[in-house]
């Protein structure tokens, strides 16, 4: 391969590693309890972008040709991500996930909670087996901040006084941290020096911030077929994301009052959604959010500048741009 | 102190260690997210028997006068226990816990799920900080088996074909394993040799099996004021515990049919409960379960025989007997 020009080139570049990770999932999830593979495979094998494993492997390979395997730790990160999806869907009472009926709708909240716990503890167990305390510490701090982010988001539900800073704290915890440690662990596996570890962690963090901002924009602008889940969900759940927070700050008192009513309502009918969308357009809430996302992507890419050129580096730059341009 | 003759003597013996653990909880749970201490302190500081921390400290001290501290690992075990209580209450839709309104009834299922996750990840983080891979491996395997036990229990809900072996697998996972590693970690902290570690792990396992059997008996025989939660809950939730499993095996076809109807019903009215209780008495389901519990306690105590005499050993023997005799 000579250059990266599509997202498929990125995945092709680490195809053998990604295939190894995919085929390891079932092995790592071995258990005598039959409900566990049913639920975890429903959600894990139903796809997902595998962005986190890819970030880990790309970072590890960029740091030089290593004899190390990133398979176990990539699976750990994907399992933690999956566990939070299972628990999120209970919290959000979601109907759809990755274009399929959400697990909690099929097997009940109880099973989603407990299989999520199984995935968390399996991740922990698998990570301990790697025997690297630095990696374990990175993982433990990250999962703690992840839980804090999720709780902060819950506390801010339907709270129209939510500030941009609150929002940034929420998305850092619930999304960016896990991408940050995917990159950090990739560099730790490659025995990179402290400076490079720190660069890659910050790269992942900025990528993750942008990723969630784009996600929150897509919830307003995408089409259901593309997203694999309903749009307008954040509004219905009373989740105040940046497009809306920015709009609320500039809206007139009358508009803010109407927005508040819509945010507090259990259902959002199409006219309400259209009304909100018009205000987002009027006050450029989408545009502002995309600009913030773009800034994070620029920061992420500039962090890579001092690193030696390689196809892996090129791929990471491509992923950064892709996060901005994707439509799902 | 010259001898252990009450459960208070047991707690007095390790009073300073237990006080240190109690005062460390708040410290370990420090976070900027205000909902977390509210919920976790509601459930942690509302009491509980502190049996797991006591097992860890007693085991550690029995192994010789150590310079080690068991505070962090005792808190880890209690946090994991608390996290499973929070998630259990969501699964069981419980109203009461430790004589107080269950957390999910006050703050909602969402908060219980996420604060449980925070406690899990905090435990992991705190355990990693101790820097001992053997302890981490014990903890990781245990939490994985704990999750498996919980899921197996969920799968067996309202299943009248549940066997005694199914029941044993469930209670081993959901209860006994955590007591086993409380003792195992106590001996690991004291640098005990492999044989002693194994003795103490098996001691804790047997103690835990008996503990859960007695719990399941108390759910039929206790009074609400003593238990701090409603009785007959297991039946209402369709949980088949040993007293009922043993009774079902011996019941006539007609009786089994009626039992099945009661187990499958959403509500258990007082006459149904009385009917079930009469069958448990007729077929000696309670007596059988208590006998099984007694066997586990005898095994546990005999395991300690080769160990040097000490007040700590005496205290562990007392705890074993206490598990059988308690009324809550």
Q: Is A93 on the interface with B (CB under 8 A)?
A: no
Give which of B133, B213, B137, B143 is closest to B178, Cα–Cα. B143
Q: Spell out which residues of chain A touch residue B34, defining contact as CB-CB under 8 Å.
A: 155
Q: Tell me the DSSP string of B135-160.
A: HHHHHHHHHHHHHHHHHHHHHTTT-T
Looking at the predicted structure, is the pLDDT value of residue B38 above 90? no
Burial class (CB in 10 A: 0-12, 13-18, 19+), A38: middle
| B37 alpha-carbon distance from chain centroid | 23
For residue B151, give the nearest of A36, A91, A127 by CB distance: A36
Q: For Cα atoms A206, A211, A215, give the angle at the middle one, nearest 5 degrees.
A: 150
Task: State the average pLDDT for chain A.
Answer: 90
Q: Measure the CA–CA gap between B311 and A141, rounded to whole angstroms.
A: 39
What integer is the mean pLDDT of B99-123? 82
Say yes or no for a CB contact (<8 Å) between B154 and A90. Answer: no
What is the b/e burial string over A104-124, where b = at least 16 CB atoms within 10 angstroms of the residue's CB? bbebebbbbbbbbbbbbbbbb
pLDDT of B269 reads: 87
Give which of B36, B103, B75, B37 is closest to A173, Cα–Cα. B36
Task: State the average pLDDT for chain B.
Answer: 90
How far, in Å, are B18, B68, B81, B304 from residue B51 at the CA level? 11, 20, 11, 18
Looking at the predicted structure, is the pLDDT value of residue B95 above 70? no
Q: Spell out which residues of chain B touch residue A151, defining contact as CB-CB under 8 Å.
A: 33, 35-36, 111, 114-115, 118
pLDDT of A172 reads: 98
Percent of chain A clearing pLDDT 70 (strictly above): 91
**Within 13 A of A46's CA, how many CA atoms are on the CB side?**
18
Say yes or no for a CB contact (<8 Å) between B148 and A32. Answer: yes
**Within 13 A of B231's CA, how many CA atoms are on the CB side?**
19
Range of weakest confidence among A94-98, B16-20, B305-309? A94-98
For residue B109, give the nearest of A33, A109, A115 by CB distance: A109
pLDDT of A92 reads: 67
Say yes or no for a CB contact (<8 Å) between A128 and B133. Answer: yes
**Within 13 A of A197's CA, how many CA atoms are on the CB side?**
13
Q: Band of the pLDDT at B99, cuts 50, 70, 90? A: low
Q: Is B72 on the interface with A (CB under 8 A)?
A: no
Say yes or no for a CB contact (<8 Å) between A122 and B144. Answer: yes
Helix (H, G, I), strand (E, B) or coil at B96: strand
Q: Is A106 on the interface with B (CB under 8 A)?
A: no
Q: Measure the CA–CA gap between A260 and A43, rounded to whole angstroms.
A: 34
Q: Is B125 on the interface with A (CB under 8 A)?
A: yes
Q: What is the pLDDT of residues B142-156, one digit of tens each?
A: 999 999 999 999 989
Residue B67 phi/psi, 5° resolution? Answer: -85, 0
Give which of A256, A257, A326 is closest to A297, Cα–Cα. A326
For residue A295, the 8-state DSSP code is H
Per 3-state DSSP, chain A is made up of helix, strand and coil in percentages (nearest 5) of 75, 0, 25
* d(CA B317, nearest CA chain A) in Å: 32
Say yes or no for a CB contact (<8 Å) between A141 and B147. Answer: no
Q: Measure the CA–CA gap between A173 and B236, rounded to whole angstroms.
A: 39
Q: Band of the pLDDT at A267, cuts 50, 70, 90? A: confident
What integer is the mean pLDDT of A227-242? 81
pLDDT of B226 reads: 61
Q: Which residues pair with A97 in a beta bridge?
A: A100
Q: Band of the pLDDT at B270, cuts 50, 70, 90? A: confident
Q: Band of the pLDDT at A47, cuts 50, 70, 90? A: low
pLDDT of A89 reads: 78
Q: What is the pLDDT of residues A270-327, one digit of tens each?
A: 899 999 999 999 999 999 999 999 999 999 999 999 999 999 999 999 999 999 998 7
For residue B155, give the nearest of A35, A116, A137 by CB distance: A35
Say yes or no for a CB contact (<8 Å) between A110 and B154. Answer: yes
Q: Which residue has the higher pLDDT, B107 or A271?
A: A271
Q: Is B46 on the interface with A (CB under 8 A)?
A: no
pLDDT of B21 reads: 94
pTM: 0.91
Q: Band of the pLDDT at B272, cuts 50, 70, 90? A: very high
| Dihedral sign (CA B28, B32, B38, B43) | negative
pLDDT of B220 reads: 93
Helix (H, G, I), strand (E, B) or coil at A307: coil
How far, in Å, are A114, A171, A181, A183, B323 from residue A48 at the CA level? 21, 19, 19, 18, 48
pLDDT of A117 reads: 95
Choose, out of B76, B82, B128, B137, the residue to mutate when testing the contact with A (most A CBs < 10 Å).
Answer: B128
For residue A33, give the nearest of B35, B139, B148 by CB distance: B148
Q: Band of the pLDDT at B1, cuts 50, 70, 90? A: low
Q: Measure the CA–CA gap between B139 and B76, rounded to whole angstroms.
A: 9
* d(CA A121, nearest CA chain B) in Å: 5
* d(CA B271, nearest CA chain A) in Å: 29
pLDDT of B254 reads: 97
Q: Tell me the DSSP string of A87-150.
A: HHHHHHT-SEETTEE-HHHHHHHHHHHHHHHHHHHHHHHHHHHTT-HHHHHHHHHHHHHHHHHH
Q: Which residue has the higher pLDDT, B86 or B101?
A: B86
Q: Measure the CA–CA gap between B79 and B193, rounded to whole angstroms.
A: 27
Q: Band of the pLDDT at B96, cuts 50, 70, 90? A: low
Looking at the predicted structure, is the pLDDT value of residue B68 above 90? no
Q: Quick one: closest CA in A to B146, which residue?
A: A118
Looking at the predicted structure, is the pLDDT value of residue B215 above 60? yes
Rg of the Cα trace of chain B? 20
Q: In chain B, where does DSSP find H-type helix? A: 7-13, 15-28, 35-44, 51-62, 71-92, 103-129, 133-155, 164-171, 177-189, 194-221, 224-227, 233-236, 242-250, 253-264, 270-282, 285-304, 311-325
Q: Measure the CA–CA gap between A322 and A296, rounded to whole angstroms.
A: 13
Bridge pairing between strands B96-97 and A100-101:
unpaired
Choose, out of B121, B145, B168, B174, the residue to mutate when testing the contact with A (most A CBs < 10 Å).
Answer: B121
Q: Which residue has the higher pLDDT, A224 or B120?
A: B120
* d(CA B69, nearest CA chain A) in Å: 20
Q: Tell me the DSSP string of B218-270.
A: HHHHS-HHHHSS-SSHHHHTT---HHHHHHHHHS-HHHHHHHHHHHHSS---H
Q: Measure the CA–CA gap between A94 and A111, rounded to whole angstroms.
A: 14
What integer is the mean pLDDT of B95-115? 74
Q: Which residue has the higher pLDDT, B40 or A7?
A: A7
Q: Is A141 on the interface with B (CB under 8 A)?
A: yes
Q: Which residues pair with B100 in a beta bridge?
A: B97
Q: What is the pLDDT of residues A106-155, one digit of tens each?
A: 677 888 899 999 999 999 999 999 999 999 999 999 999 999 999 999 98
Q: Spell out which residues of chain A touch residue B138, defining contact as CB-CB under 8 Å.
A: none
pLDDT of B142 reads: 96
The torsion of the CA quartet B158, A104, A117, A141, rounded to 10 degrees, works out to -160
Q: Measure the CA–CA gap between A43 and A21, rounded to whole angstroms.
A: 16
What integer is the mean pLDDT of A10-36? 91
pLDDT of A110 reads: 83
Give chain A's domains with CATH numbers. 7-325 (1.10.600.10)
Most distant CA atoms of chain B, gap in Å: 63
What integer is the mean pLDDT of A98-108? 68
Range of weakest confidence among A63-67, A145-149, B48-52, B130-134? A63-67
Most distant CA atoms of chain A, gap in Å: 63
Q: Quick one: closest CA in B to A128, which residue?
A: B137
Q: Band of the pLDDT at A200, cuts 50, 70, 90? A: very high
User: How many contacts (CB atoms, under 8 Å) link A and B?
Assistant: 137
pLDDT of B224 reads: 62
What is the b/e burial string over B18-43, where b = at least 16 CB atoms within 10 angstroms of the residue's CB? bebbbebbeebbebebebbbebbebb
Q: Measure the CA–CA gap between A77 and A100, rounded to whole angstroms.
A: 22
Q: Quick one: closest CA in A to B83, which residue?
A: A117
Q: Spell out which residues of chain B touch residue A128, defining contact as CB-CB under 8 Å.
A: 133, 136-137, 140
């Amino acid at each position: 391969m000579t250059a990266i020009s599509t997202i498929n080139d990125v995945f092709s570049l680490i195809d053998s590693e990604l295939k190894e990770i995919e085929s390891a999932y079932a092995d790592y999830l071995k258990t005598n309890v039959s409900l566990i593979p049913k639920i975890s495979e429903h959600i894990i094998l139903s796809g997902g972008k595998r962005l986190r494993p890819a970030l880990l492997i790309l970072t590890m390979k960029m740091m030089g040709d290593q004899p190390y395997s990133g398979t176990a730790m990539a699976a750990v990160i994907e399992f933690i991500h999956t566990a939070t999806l299972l628990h999120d869907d209970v919290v959000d009472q979601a109907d759809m996930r990755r274009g399929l009926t959400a697990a909690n709708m099929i097997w009940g909240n109880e099973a989603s909670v407990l299989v999520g716990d199984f995935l968390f503890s399996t991740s922990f167990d698998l990570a301990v087996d790697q025997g690297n305390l630095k990696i374990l510490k990175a993982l433990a701090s990250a999962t703690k901040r992840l839980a804090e982010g999720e709780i902060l988001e819950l506390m801010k539900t339907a709270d129209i006084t939510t500030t941009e800073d609150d929002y940034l704290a929420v998305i850092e915890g619930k999304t960016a941290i896990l991408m940050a440690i995917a990159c950090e662990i990739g560099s730790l596996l490659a025995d990179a020096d402290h400076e490079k570890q720190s660069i890659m962690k910050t790269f992942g963090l900025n990528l993750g911030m942008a990723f969630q901002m784009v996600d929150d924009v897509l919830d307003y602008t995408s089409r259901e077929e593309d997203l694999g889940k309903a749009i307008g969900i954040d509004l219905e759940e009373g989740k105040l994301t940046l497009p809306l927070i920015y709009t609320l700050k500039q809206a007139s008192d009358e508009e803010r009052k109407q927005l508040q009513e819509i945010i507090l309502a259990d259902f959002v009918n199409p006219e309400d959604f259209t009304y909100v969308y018009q205000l987002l357009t009027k006050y450029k809430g989408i545009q502002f959010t995309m600009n913030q996302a773009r800034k994070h992507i620029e920061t992420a890419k500039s962090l890579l500048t001092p690193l030696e050129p390689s196809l892996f580096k090129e791929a990471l730059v491509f992923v950064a741009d892709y996060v901005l341009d994707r439509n799902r």
